[in-house]
Amino acid sequence: MSTSAPNAPQDAAPGNWVDARAPAPAKPYLRLMRADRPVGVWLLFWPCVWGLTLVTGAEGYVLPNPGYVFLFLIGAIVMRGAGCVYNDIIDRDIDAGVARTAGRPLPAGQVSPKAAAAFLFALSLIGLWVLVQFNGFTIALGVGSLALVAAYPFMKRITYWPQAWLGLTFNWGVLMGWASETGGLAAPAFALYAAGVAWTLGYDTIYAHQDKEDDALLGVKSTALKFGEKTKIWLGGFYAVAFGLFCLAAALAGLAWPAFAGLALAGLHFAWQVWRLDIDAPDKCLGLFKSNVWIGLIVFLAFVAGAWPA
């Protein structure tokens, strides 16, 4: 028997820690910030660590600053949560019409819009505390990302490419990670940022295939609807571009050959995702989407390996 709560979102794992262990009054708020589905935290966190690791490798160090890694982890948790709360406030009427999202706290009536707004403010304050621990240029970058975050929920209403906007948003941490160590930006950071955008275009297109039937009925746009039966071709293209740009970033940062050997493993994982994709199997799409957490780890380890003293 499933241990998920009634009206729990379909992509929340049965028996997750929120359902099993969190205090009852906190559960709707933890679900609102997707604490029962931590994949999004990792997908936001890894680009930050990539940026940190790439710049430390370029400067002759092996591992990134652990204090900054911790700050970016806390930032990823609270800002991913804040983004989800904001997105749900804007999309609560759309979410009510989509099977996978109808059980979210706002459309299910478990949290009021006013309470959600107050929770969003609290999460944002924690995010602000994290941000001000960095240098001025990184703070400015962080503030600049808010325009991307604010616009994202509306993209699905006006373009078939909301996944591209998500890529611009979710990989901003690459730039912040690099800037936190250097106080500026350089070519390797821009190449890595572009790689992350292409990567997100791939994995979020896979994710969007879960909702394509409901989205079509509601008039919501996505790359899943745009590509349709040609999704595998597009996915292969996005992942090929991402792989090439990961390699370019490593080369521009002066990393050694082990970085490229490690990135080859990421390339194999990309190929496996394309091969396994079945756009008409929502469960398989969700599993492939979640597997991208491993891409984050593989790229991180590749950058560490490339910076290791010969």
* pLDDT tens digits, 29-60: 999 999 999 999 999 999 999 999 999 988 88
HEC secondary structure over 13-53: CCCCHHHHHCCHHHHHHHHHCCCCCCHHHHHHHHHHHHHHH
DSSP code per residue over 224-255? HHHHGGGHHHHHHHHHHHHHHHHHHHHHHTT-
pLDDT the model gives residue 279: 95
Mean pLDDT across the chain, nearest whole number? 92
The helix/strand/coil state of 100 is coil
The model's pLDDT over 277-304, given as tens digits with 9 standing for 90+, comes to: 999 999 999 999 999 999 999 999 999 9
Q: Mean per-residue pLDDT for 83-91?
A: 92
- Are residues 246 and 239 in contact, defined by beta-carbon separation less than 8 angstroms? no
Q: Mean per-residue pLDDT for 215-243?
A: 94
| C-alpha closest to that of 59 among 305, 303, 307, 309 | 307
pLDDT the model gives residue 2: 35
Question: What's the pTM?
Answer: 0.92
Q: Which class for 280: exposed (0-12), middle (13-18), buried (19 or more C-beta within 10 A)?
A: exposed
Least confident of 209-213, 250-254, 265-269: 209-213
To the nearest whole percent, how much of the chain has pLDDT over 90? 79
Distance CA 43, CA 200 (A): 9
The model's pLDDT over 123-168, given as tens digits with 9 standing for 90+, comes to: 999 999 999 999 999 999 999 999 999 999 999 999 999 999 999 9
